[in-house]
Amino acid sequence: MNSGLVERSMFFPLQEHYYRESGIQSYDLDDGSEIVGVSANTWEEFRTMIEKASPDAPIVAGPELVTCAGIAFDDLVNNRELITGRINEILEFSTTRTKTTFVIGTSLFVNSNRPRNSAVLIKNGEIVDVTNKRSGASMEENKFFDLVAEEAPLLLPGTNTAVLICADLPTAVLYADQDKGFLDRTLELSNKCHLIGKNVQLLSPSSTSLLVIACWGVGGSWIQEGEADEYYTMQLRNIVWRLTVATSIREVVVVDRVPMSLTEEQRRITPQNPYNGIIKNSLA
């Protein structure tokens, strides 16, 4: 486990443990299960790090889209063979770690020229399950990805831990505590029009824990220079708080990375360290 632990206790009963560095972190959940997060900002870093994870780890999870970190959204199709080859690398590697289920954030090409933003579960040389992102964090992501509005909820094998991909975390809150009379308008204002009228299900009713694979701090015109860390910390905290109040979720693990290939201007409004950590509602 690496250094960089930041702990906070809020006036409301959230217990927050953040690791603001890339590396390998282990998270013990309330049900006795364990998730090992491998936070890396590039594919090359990730591929090296997973070699160092314990071969006895039941779940090893990477961040969102780690197989194509640094590749522009509009160039993903041109890198299809490269991305597929990286998935195959993990399939082969997993045969040497037969106790482990790997959760890999990747572009996945299915039935469209646009890839899906997916979490692929791999164990012992096989893809055992897949979940896909319902809605993007930006208009650009909504344009270049084949987002799956009616994706079924997914639990990690043998657990009550759900899996969501980055921006689907705040989307889950919308469906959990939003006044249904205003839901469609909220979706419209938040660039999620493709979800309107759809049967959107993000969390299984039996889920008590949540794994979020993420590229959380992506910058934006509404963030003041020098305040990106404060903005994204408060955003994550408030979203998790609302989710634990409105659902059966009691703890959230985040495995994160930071965006790559940013301009100098973009870097000034983007966090330079990932938001790895576990957040629990101690009174829930």
Is there a domain that residue 269 lies in? yes
Asked whether the beta carbons of 125 and 87 are under 8 A apart, the reply is: no
Give the C-alpha separation, 132 to 106, whole Å: 10
pLDDT for res 10: 47
Is there a domain that residue 17 lies in? yes
Domain of 80, CATH number, reads 3.60.110.10
pLDDT for res 7: 54
Expressed in angstroms, the distance from the first to the final Cα of the chain is 27
| pLDDT in single tens digits along all 284 residues of the chain | 454 655 554 445 789 999 999 999 999 999 899 999 999 999 999 999 999 999 999 999 999 999 999 999 999 999 999 999 999 999 999 999 999 999 999 999 998 789 999 999 999 999 999 999 999 988 889 999 999 999 999 999 999 999 999 999 999 999 998 677 789 999 998 889 999 999 999 999 999 999 999 999 987 767 888 889 999 999 999 999 999 999 999 999 999 999 987 888 888 888 999 999 999 997 75
Is there a domain that residue 282 lies in? no
pLDDT for res 12: 56
Asked whether the beta carbons of 207 and 154 are under 8 A apart, the reply is: no
Number of neighbouring beta carbons within 10 Å of residue 17: 16
Is there a domain that residue 284 lies in? no
Is there a domain that residue 231 lies in? yes
Is there a domain that residue 281 lies in? no
Is there a domain that residue 280 lies in? no
Count: domains in the chain: 1
pTM: 0.94
Domain that holds residue 85: 5-275
DSSP string, 143-162: HHS---TTPPP-B-TTSSEE
pLDDT for res 1: 45
Give the C-alpha separation, 153 to 204, whole Å: 6
Give the C-alpha separation, 178 to 184, whole Å: 10
Is there a domain that residue 42 lies in? yes
